[in-house]
Every structure is written in structure tokens, then in C-alpha cells.
Structure 1
Amino acid sequence: MTAQRGLRLLPWAGPDGKPCYLSTDDPEGYMSRLADHIESVQLGMARELLEEARQVPDGTPMNVHKLSLLAGQLAGALRDVIRVATSRGERLATPGHPEDE
């Protein structure tokens, strides 16, 4: 994901998995609030999947299908969490700061 100056990386992908960006000066606008809500849902789902993964007993044989499903869900949640972190990190950047040049 590449930072786009002045744009907010949204918590969903567009066609072909390409990142979607929002250009707005209103952090309380409809699309900003929708993105905030979806980020919150994604982070909550990641927490729930992490808890489910922690409950997998060490050394206990497990259904391969269930384990594969859990791994796929964890990978998707990690992708979402990275997108949220990237988006929030880009919005924390201070304009004019040497690291932003």
C-alpha cells in the first residue's frame, strides 16, 4: 500500500484488490464515519479470531478443514488490521515534518 498525500486509505479494497482512498476535509462526513465504523468492526473481528486461535489446544489433533479455515480467517483479519494501521499512521503524519518529505 502506497501513501497518497492528503487522501485517507479506506478499510476496504476496490476491484482487483486495489486500495481505495477518500479525499475529504470533513473527518465527520458520512464516508469518514462509515470507514471508522468498518475499521472498528474489522478490529473487533480480529480480536475474536485471535481469541479463537488461542483456544486451539497445543498438541491436540485438530480437524484439518477447521484449522485451514481458521488460518484463512486469521490471514484476512491480519490484512485488514495492517490496512487500518497504515491508514491511521498516514493520518498521524505531521505536514512539513522531515519524515514526510
Structure 2
Amino acid sequence: MTGQTTALFACYGCKERFLACPECVTTIRVDPVTNRPPDAAIIDGKAVHVSPDPEAAARAVQQPVCDGCVSLRNAAYLKGGPEAAHIESLWETTEDRHRRSHA
């Protein structure tokens, strides 16, 4: 990411700090009250998709996610099984988005 502006972020997933282009960083909307996406719930110890609560969706804010967490999420999605049941699609990493957007 040389020659571009970078910012320091704290990852929503792993809480580690990372540098990324503010325009390209991967984000997820999170309800600050529950600390989960508005369309996610924990049922029987497993993350599942639910219809988003309108109030939770209204107060949700964008939270950054590091490429390491995106890669782990994508690997779980591709593997399938119960751990991936709530994952609906692959996410693009910040690095890939940055390369594509600033080529």
C-alpha cells in the first residue's frame, strides 16, 4: 500500500491493530448494544442468520475487519459445515480491494 494514505484500525474479529487504506478497509455493520451484526444471533452456541431487528440495524455502525479474519472466514465458508452455516458469501480482502481500486 505504498504511496497511499493508511490508517490504524482495530479489527472487530480479533481485536488486533492493523494498517489499511481507509477507502478500502473491509467492514461489517455491528450493533453496539449487542456487539453483533444486526442479522446475527447466537442460538445453541452457534452463530445463525436472523431477520435483522430494525432498531439494531438503525444503530449499527461500520467496524473494520483485518485480512487475517477475512481469510479465516472465507476458508470456513469454502470448507462448509456447521461453522459456516451463517456465512452467506466470500468477502474480498482489503489488500485485494486496494490493489483493484488503486491500480
TM-score by length of 2: 0.28
TM-score by length of 1: 0.28
Instruction: Tell me which of the two structures has the higher relative contact order, counting C-alpha pairs closer than 8 angstroms and 6 or more residues apart.
Output: 1
Q: Which is greater in Rg?
A: 1
